[in-house]
Amino acid sequence: MMNVAVIGSGTMGNGIAHVFAQHGFPVSLIDINQPALDKALATISKNLDRQVAKGTLSDTAKTDTLGRLTTFTSVAEGVKNADLVVEAATENVELKLNIFRELDQHAPAQAILASNTSSISITKIAAVTRRPAQVIGMHFMNPVPVMKLVEVIRGYATSDEVTERVMELSRQLGKTPTEVNDYPGFVANRILMPMINEAIYSLYEGVAGVEEIDTVMKLGMAHPMGPLQLADFIGLDVCLAILRVLHEGLGNQKYAPCPLLVNMVMAGRLGVKSGEGFYSWGHGTKDLVLAERFQK
């Protein structure tokens, strides 16, 4: 069984660690401070409890899953025995490049280095390592334990062998891997983010209100949630960062972020993570409540 290391214990990182550990892989979960790791383990335990309550997981399987997780605050220690490292840090180019430089230094020579990036070039990341053939994108969807898709992104130098190995690993996790090439936004975000941006433009230009836009997409297009609600869940700062990658990488004005999105991010209105975006998220219920700015 491969040893897996996950860099970053936030929403995506703890979800990735959860899924690997649940499927029998020993997992090293790495973050810069222990309180973040303790919070991640508590989240994983709570999510496993939900699976037990639904009857999709036994109490024994929950215990076994938690037993496969070990936490580290040192990258060097956490990755020294890894066969696969999955980086799930903040979507910031320089941060990821620095992490991969460090991974290349400390991970075993045969280890595969994967990034959960949602938009940053795998080729660019691979170029700062001495093993570009072993660098690949492994883009999980949120929430990781629930969503089936893994976008497997081949960088310019990623080998066929590494690609097939990561595809097979994804299948072992009960996921459906889809191989894509390394161009800005890959497939998921190249299609999703312009839709979200257009929904924000529709609001910005007064075509319709928040609820109306989301209702049209939910009832008319059978989307499980509207694009503005989804943007709040993703994080408006993340949406803006991905749109900027698309705009810069493809040089097409159609990817330019809506000024309303830019202003909301500058004002700290980031969606669920900040308590307010297009909707208000601090009221303690599951009911959708419009942010005060967008109330009629």
With beta carbons less than 8 A apart as the criterion, state whether 19 and 144 touch.
yes
Q: Look up 198 and say whether it is catalytic.
A: no
| Under 8 Å between Cβ of 72 and 29 | yes
Tokens read off for 188? 């998921």
Residue tagged active-site, from 151, 197, 202, 247? 151
Q: Which residue has the tokens 């990658």?
A: 245
Spot the catalytic one: 28, 47, 119, 189: 189
Q: Give the integer Cα–Cα distance in Å for 77 and 104.
A: 13
Report d(CA 167, CA 84) in Å as an integer: 13
139, 170, 197, 274: the active-site residue? 139
* 31 in a labelled binding site: yes
In the chain, the largest separation of any two C-alpha atoms, in whole Å, equals: 59
H or E stretch including 61?
A: helix 59-67
Q: Which residue has the tokens 């009911």?
A: 287
Q: Which of 32, 1, 28 is nearest to 17 (CA)?
A: 28
Query: Is 13 annotated as belonging to a binding site?
Result: yes
91 assigned binding-site residue: yes
Name the token pair of 291: 């942010």
Q: Is 202 a catalytic residue?
A: no
Confirm whether residue 49 is marked as ligand binding.
no
Residue 115 a catalytic site member: no
Asked if residue 8 belongs to a known ligand binding site, the reply is yes
- Known active-site residue 106: no
The response to whether 9 counts as a known ligand-binding position is yes
One of 3, 14, 118, 197 is an active-site residue; which one?
A: 118
The Cα-based distances of 90 to 93, 154, 223, 251 in angstroms read 9, 21, 27, 24
Binding site, annotated residues for NAD(+)? 8-13, 31, 91, 96, 118, 142, 273
Q: Among all residues, which ones are annotated catalytic?
A: 118, 139, 151, 189
Enumerate the known binding-site residues. Answer: 8-13, 31, 91, 96, 118, 142, 273
